[in-house]
Structure 1
Amino acid sequence: MTSHLSGPPLRFGANYVPSEGWFYSWLDYSPAAVRRDLADLAGMGLDHVRIFPVWPWIQPNRALIRQRAIDDVLDMIDAAAEFGLGVAVDLLQGHLSSFDFLPSWVLTWHQRSVFTDAETRAGITAYADQLTRAVASRPNVFAVTLGNEVNNLWPANAATPAATTAWAADLIEVVRAAAPDVLALYSLYDDAWYDPKHPFAVADAVDLGDLSTAHSWVFNGVSAIDGPLGPATVTHADYLVELTAATATDPARPVWLQEVGAPGPDISPADAPDFVRRMLGAVTGNPALWGVTWWCSHDVDRALVDFPDREYDLGLFTTDHRIKPLAAELAAFIHELAPGARNLERRPALVCDVDLRTEPHRRGEVAPGSAFHAEWTRLRQAGPVAIVSAPRAADQPYLAARGISSVVTPS
């Protein structure tokens, strides 16, 4: 097909995991160690990092927000600026690498849901407002996300679809008021897309905030379909970006691939560079894509215990700052893609008769391994394939805005 579209240059970054002490390093913050880590990333040609202040260490009491902890966050942002890196800040950690970090004032005798309890929501609002105002004082901060996959905090915290929608919508407005020139974002992991019983709405992921985010992890069942380098595995990021774009009401709404990685044992170290090349080759041709942020910057020290095994080796760099082959492949891809805007091809779209906005109980029908996913993967092997919801399959202005040339009905 002929290229008819052009898109702005993509952003490429890393989710910053400190090489010394994982996120526990916030408890004993080392400016020198942070700068050593960020030098690694800048040397690859990345343009941004996503950082994760740990909520209970900043707000250990509902009425106490520690300025010294905020100052450490600001130093990390300033360190990124020294290396020419933009920064996206996640507010509520919340959930990190299989661990939940919640302040004591929502636990034990004080047990209450972060999503539904009025006093807890008031405390979170104060935290979000104060931290957002602080980080927005730095010109290299371009985004604030409510938290890292906050839907991982359920079911430990009671939630309903109505409650999670209200919670996120209210906090997005808090962030916008505190930092009107910064992207305000809401991020969910993919159960929101694939699990019919999940109490977080797909519509919220594409309606709330200034752009949509997607977290693509092939250990969700995709890699079991066809192995580490099979079509379903290497195109899953593209599939999730397409589902996200197809669910948004605005055909021009961008999608940030905010997390993607090469987890073992699904993808071995030997296969990881090839996975990087194929996955990026598929998803970077998507006109909805805003940028790609790799999970994660550095490995986790195996002296730290109780992490799932795959979490230790997800980094672009080892804990002693050695670059990995997959990181070299990522850097090479970025270098090749760097010049100018992207040339994007118009492509056909597969019609999806599941309306994810109004039929969340049917989410399983688009999950990895479903008939729809299998058909999309089959068609995708011949080239880019969009997804379009059935109600919009005949909407010509909408199709043109998304770069869709024709529609295909599932066989």
Structure 2
Amino acid sequence: MPLLDPLRHGANYVPSAGWFHSWLDLSLDAVRRDFEDLASIGLDHVRVFPIWPWIQPNPGLVRQRGVADLLAVIDVAAEFGLSVAVDLLQGHLSSFDFLPSWVLTWHRRSLFTDRGARDAIAAYADRLARAVATRGNVFAVTLGNEVNNLYPSNATTPEASTAWAAELIDVVRAAAPGLLALHSLYDATWYDPKHPFHPADNVDLGDLTTVHSWVFNGVSAIDGPLGPATVSHADYLVELAAATSLDPARPVWLQEIGVPRPDVPEAATAEFVRRTLDAVTVNPALWGVTWWCSHDLDRSLSDFPEREYELGLFTVDHRPKPAAKELAAIIGERRGRAEASRPALRCDVDLRTEPGRRAEVAPGSAFHAAWVRLRQAGPVAIVAGDRADDPAHLATRRIGTVLTPE
């Protein structure tokens, strides 16, 4: 099968020692050991997460030491040939929210709607984006990790959510014009009819679309750890994103995907990795795949959801796990995106203008079930109803025929 340019493969960096608390007493030797692990299995990039309130503890203070630590981690990545994507607002990580005191308690305000908070965040984004742009191995700046997880503790509306993100994308682009400026949202934006972050935000804001595929969102309950709905979920999200964008050539980055337990038992890990990547890596819209996450979470740290402890490609003592070994084998196959045409399933739910109908494409919906059935025979695109008769759109997305769910 003819292939387009090779895919990018990377990992979301979770430090093996001390989790993200390690930023408080950074050890570059520990970082170096972690990045050696990732380079050893052929990964080409990492996504890193500086902790926002530790760098900007006051609206008027961005700590230079925090900025310098971030740059030092980026420089260590360069030692191992790893390019870097930097997330700005953490924000939300593994069930914990990291918010500065100046949006909490007596100062409680929504970071999405309060003008003072937005101005302070813009100053932070400008400072960090300018700093990381000085490093040649940085390729992207994402506003934050799944910032829609910070709702409802930070009240917002669809209009405010869009304006907030658009404003910060402009800040990042002005500060770092040579880097990708990106928006990151978890999948409620695609599936929850009432969620105040809409699908159009994913595909209109930023320089490419990011999606996060987690099968504990209900997909694995449909047909188990290795069923067709489960192993095709990443491909389904990439297709929803491609179908929703007005730009048929807009790339989609599978920015997070992992093997969560108990949804995928340890014995099924390697097969889940291979079947999932078999499905998604042929997608012509796919830019790359970034695994969540690099390393397990040390069980000496308490109060995490059970599934968070063993999501790593490597153990805390640097042993490669089955997912790492299978991923290394797949990277060695030098896969690219497929050039061949494929059929598409017509979707008459307009996610751009009808976000209240998102449940109609959610896992378990009639549309999703129809797509999964068709997907078992080979790649199947999704095309929005108002673009299903557009020859140029179909050709750009390598769509041959258009099918209807009926």
CA contact (8 A) 2:283 2:337 kept: no
Which residue in 1 is equivalent to 2:344? 349
- Pairing 1:264–2:256 present: no
Determine the C-alpha separation between the residues in 2 that align with 1:278 and 1:102.
38
Determine the C-alpha separation between the residues in 1 that align with 2:212 and 2:223.
20
- Pairing 1:376–2:366 present: no
- Pairing 1:133–2:130 present: yes
Which residue in 2 is equivalent to 1:209? 206
Determine the C-alpha separation between the residues in 1 that align with 2:283 and 2:34.
31
Q: Among residues 385, 390, 402, which one is paired with 1:390 in the alignment? A: 385
- Pairing 1:301–2:275 present: no
CA contact (8 A) 2:182 2:208 kept: yes
What TM-score, normalized to structure 2?
A: 0.99
Determine the C-alpha separation between the residues in 1 that align with 2:192 and 2:201.
15
String of CA shifts for 1:185-236, please: whole Å, max 9, x gaps: 0010000000000000110100000000000000000000000000000000
Determine the C-alpha separation between the residues in 1 that align with 2:375 and 2:259.
21
Matched residue type, 1:374: A
Cα distance, 1:407 vs structure 2: 0.3
Secondary structure class of the residue paired with 2:212 = strand
Q: How many aligned positions are there?
A: 406
Which residue in 2 is equivalent to 1:105? 102
- Pairing 1:172–2:169 present: yes
Which residue in 1 is equivalent to 2:156? 159
Matched residue type, 2:192: D
Which residue in 1 is equivalent to 2:139? 142
Gaps of 5+ in 1: none
Cα distance, 1:342 vs structure 2: 4.3
Equivalent runs, 1:203-242 vs 2, <5 Å = 203-242=200-239
Segments ≥4 residues shifted beyond 4 Å: none
- Pairing 1:277–2:274 present: yes
Matched residue type, 1:125: A
Matched residue type, 2:261: G
Cα distance, 1:344 vs structure 2: 2.7
Matched residue type, 1:407: V
Secondary structure class of the residue paired with 1:337 = coil
Equivalent runs, 1:306-317 vs 2, <5 Å = 306-317=303-314
Secondary structure class of the residue paired with 1:232 = helix
Q: Among residues 22, 27, 44, which one is paired with 1:25 in the alignment? A: 22
Q: Among residues 5, 22, 32, which one is paired with 1:8 in the alignment? A: 5
Which residue in 2 is equivalent to 1:47? 44
RMSD: 0.8
Cα distance, 1:277 vs structure 2: 0.3
Secondary structure class of the residue paired with 1:372 = helix
Secondary structure class of the residue paired with 2:88 = strand
- Pairing 1:183–2:167 present: no
Secondary structure class of the residue paired with 1:345 = coil
Gaps of 5+ in 2: none
- Pairing 1:60–2:54 present: no
Cα distance, 1:343 vs structure 2: 4.0
Determine the C-alpha separation between the residues in 1 that align with 2:166 and 2:56.
22
Secondary structure class of the residue paired with 1:267 = coil
Matched residue type, 1:387: I
Cα distance, 1:369 vs structure 2: 0.3
Determine the C-alpha separation between the residues in 2 that align with 1:343 and 1:221.
29
Change (3 A) 1:75 1:299: same
Secondary structure class of the residue paired with 2:86 = strand
String of CA shifts for 1:119-161, please: whole Å, max 9, x gaps: 0001000000001100110000000000000000000001000
Which residue in 2 is equivalent to 1:322? 319
Matched residue type, 2:397: R
Matched residue type, 2:356: H
